[in-house]
Amino acid sequence: MNILIVSAEASPFAKTGGLADAVSGLGRALDLKGNSVKILIPRYYCISKDSLELCKSALLISTGWSEITVNVYRARNSVFYESGSLEYIFIDNEKLYGRDGIYGSDYEPDYHDNPLRFSVLSRSAFAFCRSINWIPDIIHSNDWSTALVPVILNLFERKNFPHTKTVFTIHNLGYQGSYPDAAYRLLGLPESCKYDCHLARFGGINLLQAGICSSDFITTVSKKFMEEAMTPQGGFGLDGILRGMSDVFEGIVNGADSTEWNPLIDRYIPVHYSKDDLTGKRICREALQKTFGLKTDPDVPVIGIICRLVEQKGIAELFAPYYGAMYRMCSDFNAQFVVVGSGEKWCENEIHSLTGRFENFGSYIGYSEKISHIVEAGSDLFLMPSKYEPCGLNQIYSMLYGTIPVVRATGGLDDTVISWADNPDKATGFKFYDLTPDAVYNTVKWALSVFEDKAAVRKMQHNGMSSDFSWSAS
């Protein structure tokens, strides 16, 4: 089949979270199954033209009320892998995408012209396919930023793509592309489409809602999150729509790209290791401790955290001054903590404060692919106290690297981690249910007490590393 995946992010080029890894991993897996796959994203300022080749120049894109030109670049997946025909395609317009951020910046968290930026991306998908006479059997769009793809197909492009089907994946219901009514003009659509295409919502517009209602099939990234999304508590206001479309709605856990996340071949870690020989993991732990300026003690458990510092990730319960559990854990537990992430400024400031205050706490504000791999390989436990988590990939990476996850039982975290309390023989981690600082504190305390039983730890590591989280399984 011909498959076009349209996304705002894709690893290794542009990434703010798990969406980028999921898009590239799925594309790679579909490619290896013999499909012709292209992944289309914008060329942001961070993506150098030096690694790309121009394949279309001055491609005209209608914005509804005017036309703009974009250049189209290409990078073959073989740049990163030894084989495969997967192609990354980049839509280039300096005014729209030549910025430091993907969705926003420190000064403007959500760019005011995002409806225009991502409308142009969605329209460019069809213009590019027409320009090379390549017709997808399936167009797969992802989250609110590409939700206009099925809308534009149904409105304007059916004569050129008569048999193309659309799949829309919800990676995070908490981000819906909601804008005031005045932003509708940036989409370049007829006024009647606001209602006909389900864009109108509560006096404004909602791009995610339109993408859901306009697609042939809808997926989300775990069974548990699919169930949660159809409830008033977990549906972020769209639960009624999703219940009404339950016959074309499926939850499928994201896979892990074994070419990128595999301790046997990981290019970022100092020593490789396997489930049958974990010697290298001890060396990776020492490298992790040195990276974060911690004491290189082989007997002190290291607890890793990698996340966006936003409410969804339970940062208040972890880091809020006089409330969160981290201060108490650093004070009370014979363990080391490392944090990688960026986001809300109050949280970044608190992490800086903890780093200066405790010798057993290290941090990296920002994101580094290399450091993230070292954290996964070198940590003993990995903490994810998410308020909600559609899928989560870090708990999967952790298990594959012999790092035991401690997670809140929500969404994909509940689907993928088998708790020690439920089945010690098959356990791969620890779960808790109430999102409170005490629940976080007590579950980490429980995990550290079990960690003293080396045979139990080794069993959990083996169980996790033996799990099949491949895209083939998904």
Are 431 and 451 in contact by the 8 Å Cβ rule? The answer is no
Mean pLDDT of the chain: 96
Show the beta-strand stretches assigned E in 125-203. 138-142, 165-170, 178-180, 200-201
pLDDT tens for 346-362 read: 999 999 999 999 999 99
Measured distance CA(445)–CA(60) in Å, rounded: 59
- The average pLDDT across 451-470 equals 96
Look at strands 67-76 and 302-306 and give their pairing. Answer: unpaired
**Secondary structure (DSSP) of 185-215:** GGGT--TTHHHHTT-EETTEEEHHHHHHHH-
pLDDT of residue 77: 54
Measured distance CA(374)–CA(194) in Å, rounded: 47
> 59 forms bridges with which residues in the sheet?
70
CB atoms within 10 A of CB 462: 14
Q: Residue 367, SS3? A: coil
Calculate what percentage of the chain has a pLDDT beyond 70: 98
Tell whether the torsion through CA atoms of 251, 257, 261 and 264 is positive or negative: positive
Measured distance CA(226)–CA(414) in Å, rounded: 12
- Band of pLDDT at residue 425, cut at 50, 70 and 90: very high
pLDDT of residue 356: 96
- Tokens 């290896």 belong to 32
Q: How far is CA 146 from the centre of its chain?
A: 15
Closest CA to 255 of 29, 416, 474: 474
pLDDT tens for 64-123 read: 888 999 999 999 654 444 456 899 999 999 999 999 899 999 889 999 999 999 999 999
For residue 472, CA distances in Å to 35, 171, 256, 320, 450 come to 14, 19, 10, 40, 33
Q: Which residues contact 304 (CB under 8 A, 6 or more apart)?
A: 288, 338, 340, 375, 376, 378, 379, 381, 382, 383, 398, 403
Q: How far is CA 391 from the centre of its chain?
A: 8
Tokens of residue 210, six digits:
């339109």
Q: Which residues contact 337 (CB under 8 A, 6 or more apart)?
A: 302, 303, 305, 326, 329, 330, 360, 361, 362
Tokens of residue 330, six digits:
């650093």
Burial tier of 321 (Cβ tally within 10 Å: 0-12, 13-18, 19+):
exposed
Question: Is the pLDDT reported for residue 284 higher than 90?
Answer: yes
Measured distance CA(406)–CA(184) in Å, rounded: 43
Burial tier of 79 (Cβ tally within 10 Å: 0-12, 13-18, 19+):
exposed
Measured distance CA(329)–CA(145) in Å, rounded: 38
Closest CA to 451 of 409, 408, 406: 406
pLDDT of residue 84: 67
pLDDT of residue 199: 98
Closest CA to 345 of 303, 315, 372, 382: 315
pTM given for the model: 0.93
Measured distance CA(432)–CA(443) in Å, rounded: 7
Question: Is the pLDDT reported for residue 430 higher than 80?
Answer: yes
pLDDT of residue 43: 97
Calculate what percentage of the chain has a pLDDT beyond 90: 94
- Band of pLDDT at residue 17, cut at 50, 70 and 90: confident
Closest CA to 207 of 199, 219, 197: 199
